[in-house]
Amino acid sequence: MTPIAAFHRTLDQELTALLRGASLECLVCGEFVMHARGGSAFCPECSSQLADEDALEGGNTGLECTVQAG
């Protein structure tokens, strides 16, 4: 069984790669994401959104994870 810490590290690396533009795949549904100015990415298929702290501190607090299970 994989320790939780190892999973967290892997997820953190995936999120960082997605925000850097090194990954183009949505972590939720696997479709291609679109990158916007200000360090944010969003998936037009499942509507999940991801932004780094700098984008959120700039007053653009509308970017947050909006995906729900089910």
Q: What's the average model confidence in pLDDT over 32-45?
A: 87
Name the E strands within 1-70.
34-36, 40-42, 49-51
Q: Under a CB-based contact definition with an 8 Å cutoff, are residues 15 and 23 in contact?
A: no
Domain containing 36: what range? 4-57
Distance of CA 59 to the CA centre of its chain: 18
Per-residue model confidence as pLDDT tens digits over 6-23: 666 688 888 888 888 888
Higher pLDDT, 9 or 32: 32
Q: Is the residue at 69 inside a domain?
A: no
Q: What's the average model confidence in pLDDT over 21-31?
A: 88
Both tokens assigned to 58? 């700039």
Q: Is the residue at 70 inside a domain?
A: no
Task: Give the Cβ contact number of residue 12 at 10 Å.
Answer: 10
The total domain count for the chain is 1
Q: Is the residue at 47 inside a domain?
A: yes
